[in-house]
Chains A and B, each alone.
Chain A
Amino acid sequence: MFETLTAPLRHLGHVTINAIWRLGFASRFLAAILLQSGQSFRRLNLTIREVYFAGVLSLIIIVVSGLFVGMVLGLQGYNTLSRFGSADALGALVALSLLRELGPVLAALLFASRSGSAMTAEIGLMKATEQLDAMSVMAVNPIARVVAPRFWAGVISMPVLAALFNVTGIFGGYFVGVQLIGLDEGTFWSQMQNSVDLHNDVINGLIKSLFFGIAVTLIAVFEGYDATPTAAGVSSATTRTVVTSALVILALDFVLTAFMF
């Protein structure tokens, strides 16, 4: 009787303890990655290889989405601004919304689904096929050899991809505003330059994307390393990477925005 009554509470307790345990494990995992980074930096071509897979291969999706987001911002911004007779401010609107929010956040979401999931699947599958254990047997530290290069590749790639997203987005807005709608080109750029501040908008946006890069890659490599070594386990770990990354990016964005602006 007592057992059945307390079952929901016990379930809740189990879930909470599990969540705390995973958080602690993730922090220790981050510490381990940072400790082993020296070793992986000595073999830099491992990291460069991962930058290729995580960053260079994400270029297409980042550029195309940046362009379309910028073009949509141009169209929607023009529709709204022209109602107040201030369509001239379109350049400022496009640049500020991209630099402050959309660029870092959307680039991070795309990066999480494009590269984060791939990292999780790769590491999870390595674990399932016992490659990680084989490395340990050969006295190769799997964190230094497999995890740390992927982590650093993500941290390096994320700000680059976000900056690229911003630039293509601004060109998308320029294309719609100036070429299609026919706003004055000089006003478009000068309004943008008057309202965008280097430190406040550009640098803070890049700092945001750096934080997102750390969060997304840590989640990706952690979920891979922690995956149940079965086909179903790898699949659910990949799903968890994308879902957790998206939630963490949005929550972190709120916190960072509150502190920065």
Chain B
Amino acid sequence: MKRTTIDLWVGIFVAIGIAAVTFLSLKVANLTPQSAEASYPLYAEFDNIGGLKVKAPVKSSGVVVGRVASIELDTQRYLAKVTLSLDKRYQFSRDTSAEILTSGLLGEQYIGLVQGGDPDNLKPGERIDLTSSALVLEQLIGKFMLNFAEKGPAKEGSPAGSSGAQ
């Protein structure tokens, strides 16, 4: 085979390889060039973050507006301090509230932001004051049991209810 033909085929081969890697990084891994100036940080403190993870989405009305940048425990007050990295295009008012929600019944957890009515916006690095923690299934069941027991063990022979009362 002629050398130019081989060169051409190898060129096509390598080009396909580069295209495949580009496809994997852009379309599959969704690598979006996120520079520091395109986003700004905010932080929020939660009693309990449940299963929230770094890089979880931050959504407002279901639209992704940023990601969770870091999660750490504030050792002064023992609250979880979550740093959010939000898109510069989206500004939120000072009385915005943040809550930890779950997508679907068993889906991943994300932070939902609800815009408030204050005319002033949160500046980079400020704190979101209004927060509500993740729902922890065990605590929920515990509360339900307690409630159930306080109202009175209506039905006899209900071992779960009676053991909850003790």
- Give the shortest distance, in Å, between A210 (CB) and chain B (any CB): 12
CA A164 – CA B24 in complex, angstroms?
10
Among B6, B13, B23, the residue within 8 A (CB) of A49 is: B6
Residue of B nearest to A63 (CB): B16
Residue contact A202 to B24, C-beta cutoff 8 Å: yes
Task: Give the interface residue-count category, chain B.
Answer: 20 to 34
Does A51 make an interface contact (CB < 8 A)?
yes
Among B3, B6, B25, B108, the residue within 8 A (CB) of A202 is: B25
Among A52, A95, A166, A196, the residue within 8 A (CB) of B20 is: A166
Residue of B nearest to A86 (CB): B106
- Give the shortest distance, in Å, between A164 (CB) and chain B (any CB): 5
A52-66 at interface with B (beta carbon < 8 Å): 52, 55-56, 59
Residue contact A193 to B9, C-beta cutoff 8 Å: no
Does A250 make an interface contact (CB < 8 A)?
no
CA A48 – CA B108 in complex, angstroms?
48
Does B21 make an interface contact (CB < 8 A)?
yes
Among A52, A59, A196, the residue within 8 A (CB) of B28 is: A196
- Give the shortest distance, in Å, between A203 (CB) and chain B (any CB): 9
Does B10 make an interface contact (CB < 8 A)?
yes
Does A197 make an interface contact (CB < 8 A)?
yes
A154-195 at interface with B (beta carbon < 8 Å): 157, 159-161, 163-164, 166-167, 170, 189, 192-194
Does B36 make an interface contact (CB < 8 A)?
no
Residue of B nearest to A167 (CB): B20
Residue contact A160 to B14, C-beta cutoff 8 Å: yes
Residue contact B24 to A167, C-beta cutoff 8 Å: yes
- Give the shortest distance, in Å, between A190 (CB) and chain B (any CB): 8
Among B10, B20, B28, the residue within 8 A (CB) of A164 is: B20
Known: A52-B6, A167-B20, A206-B21. A201 touches B29 (CB 8 A): yes
CA A202 – CA B21 in complex, angstroms?
8
CA A4 – CA B47 in complex, angstroms?
77
Does B27 make an interface contact (CB < 8 A)?
yes
Does A45 make an interface contact (CB < 8 A)?
yes
Residues of A within 8 A of B16 (CB): 59, 160, 164
Residues of A within 8 A of B21 (CB): 163, 202, 206
Does B17 make an interface contact (CB < 8 A)?
yes
- Give the shortest distance, in Å, between B119 (CB) and chain A (any CB): 34
Mask: chain B, 2-35; 1 = CB below 8 Å from A; 0 = not: 0100110110111011001101110111110000
Does A148 make an interface contact (CB < 8 A)?
no
CA A167 – CA B6 in complex, angstroms?
24
Residue contact B6 to A160, C-beta cutoff 8 Å: no
Residue contact A202 to B9, C-beta cutoff 8 Å: no
Known: A196-B29, A198-B25, A201-B29. A163 touches B13 (CB 8 A): no
- The residues of A with any CB-CB pair to B shorter than 8 Å are 45, 48-49, 51-52, 55-56, 59, 86, 95, 99, 157, 159-161, 163-164, 166-167, 170, 189, 192-194, 196-198, 201-202, 206
Ranked nearest first, the 3 interchain pairs of A and B with the lowest CB-CB distance are A160-B17, A193-B30, A163-B20
Could you write out 8 A-B pairs with CB less than 8 Å apart? Answer: A49-B3, A49-B6, A56-B10, A56-B12, A159-B17, A167-B23, A192-B28, A202-B24
